[in-house]
Amino acid sequence: MTLTLRVAIVGAGPAGIYAGNILNRQVAEAGGEVAIDLFESLPAPYGLIRYGVAPDHPRIKGIVNSLHEMLDAGTIRLIGNVEVGRDVTVDELRDRYDAVIFATGALKDAPLDIPGIDLPGSYGAADLVAWYDGHPDVPRDWPLEAESIAVIGNGNVALDVARVLAKHPKDLLSTDVPANVVAGLEASPVTDVHVFGRRGPGHVKFTPIELRELGEVPDVDVIVYDDDFERAQGDPHAEQLHASNNQVKVMTRTLNGWRKSADWTSTASRRLHLHFLHAPVEVLGGERVEAVRFERTRPVGDGSVAGTGEFVDVPVQAVYRAVGYASSPVPGVPFDEDRAVIPNDGGRVTDVAGTPIPGVYATGWIKRGPVGLIGHTKGDALETITNLLADAAAGALPAPTVSAGPDGDEVLGLLEGRDIRYTTWAGWLELDAHERALGEASDAPVSRERIKVVPRDEQVAISRAGALVAS
């Protein structure tokens, strides 16, 4: 019996696109047919790649090119600017598709539960990232008023935020950074950015490339502190990591290379400080942030740390928490509030009793939490798609109750009847060309591949003016 499926994927970031690509390939290899609709709440595709990665990461272009090829093949239909749970309900999707896969990612900041964290001048790193990446749903302006800034976290997002805050705007002009972001960064009075981690230098969660990029920022000195390294000495867990992990060796060598002699003096106009073995306990201030209080920690030998009872106050005027991301619930789908994921078993979404819900699946960060690099989503997607196809082969998928219509256009008619101004792949190609034209026309002193269009209405207008035919 030939397999014939209609599948909706919610979320056009890497997780959703990888899932669609794997699904299409596996069904084709089995001699079946599958129609895939990829729903995205934003007018443009790529999710985290477009709106969650610092603009000065040229290696991301390779991932974008790969995702572009997958969508440009025409086997996955993009339906953008549609919020599932608002513009169309989950039940309406389930009525129209054999299966629905949720790949909505993790877009908000994980909380940091310490006193003072809600003071004016305290922000989530994810919000700043969305601003400097030109996300259409965040304010165009950002309050960059601090000379000294604290970034709490020891992962790649913390380094991205610290680097962008410390970097001179002219050194971002070769990227797709929006004009309003350049203007905001140019007005920033920042001189010092401090990054704090609870554990020692042998346990950082950066990648070697991220770390090395810090030392290449013009007119920004990277400063580390001997006391942090001395406190971390003799930690058997760190020593074991160093002996067994080449990435740790590279990062340890890089960090040690930044240690300075006693008579060293900074000559740059800005400084980026890396602090280790500092656990945040309170944000201090009256009307707004004035300092952050940290407890010095010590390694206990198993990869964790313990407090020492020694406290230090670091004067800053702004603080950014970069302690992780958290997913948001989708109306009509179970959600585990404690873990901030859709509960699932191998990608099969489960109800409160742990029983799989027929035809409903999850992949990516909404499935497993915000851990791992972008490439890890491929393995996630493979597991989910394998289980979906096993269910299809077993006849366990509920049949759609609403006809797809000619060329699968019934769902488009549903959206049009609600005046939803959806966008398509052809529309994205128009917006992509428009942004590239803005880059070519720029009078910046460096070549610019593109300049992002930020306002949602403007993105939608450009997309829909070019094409309304789904490719």
- CB atoms closer than 10 angstroms to residue 369: 18
Whether residue 262 contacts residue 181, with contact meaning beta carbons closer than 8 Å, is answered with no
Domain 4-107+327-422, CATH homologous superfamily name and number: NAD(P)-binding Rossmann-like Domain (3.40.50.720)
Highest mean pLDDT among 203-217, 248-262, 340-354: 340-354
Amino acid letter, 174: S
**Model pLDDT for residues 75-101, shown as the tens digit of each residue:** 999 999 999 999 999 999 999 999 999
Is the per-residue pLDDT at 469 higher than 60? no
Task: Locate the domains of the chain by residue range.
Answer: 4-107+327-422, 108-325
pLDDT (mean) for 395-417: 95
Is the per-residue pLDDT at 151 higher than 90? yes
For residue 2, the model assigns a pLDDT of 67
Whether residue 62 contacts residue 53, with contact meaning beta carbons closer than 8 Å, is answered with no
Is the per-residue pLDDT at 437 higher than 60? yes
Is the per-residue pLDDT at 62 higher than 90? no
Amino acid letter, 363: T
Phi/psi at 40 (5° precision): -135, 135
**Rounded-to-integer distance, Cα 134 and Cα 454, Å:** 5
- CB atoms closer than 10 angstroms to residue 76: 26
pLDDT (mean) for 448-471: 82
**Rounded-to-integer distance, Cα 238 and Cα 243, Å:** 9
- DSSP E strands: which ranges in 316-470? 318-321, 325-326, 344-345, 348-350, 356-362
SS3 152: strand
**Model pLDDT for residues 181-191, shown as the tens digit of each residue:** 999 999 999 99
Highest mean pLDDT among 49-53, 217-221, 238-242, 258-262: 217-221
Terminal-to-terminal C-alpha distance of the chain: 28
pLDDT band at 53 (very low <50, low <70, confident <90, very high): confident
pLDDT band at 470 (very low <50, low <70, confident <90, very high): very low
For residue 133, the model assigns a pLDDT of 94
- Among 3.40.50.1260, 3.40.630.30, 3.50.50.60, 1.10.760.10, what is the CATH number of 108-325? 3.50.50.60
**Rounded-to-integer distance, Cα 157 and Cα 221, Å:** 19
For residues 372 and 21, which has the higher predicted lDDT (pLDDT)? 21
Q: Which of 59-68, 103-112, 417-426, 431-440 has the lowest mean pLDDT?
A: 59-68
Query: Is the CA virtual torsion 91, 95, 97, 98 positive or negative?
Result: positive
**Model pLDDT for residues 25-48, shown as the tens digit of each residue:** 999 999 999 999 999 999 999 998
Tokens for 297, please give them. Answer: 């920690």
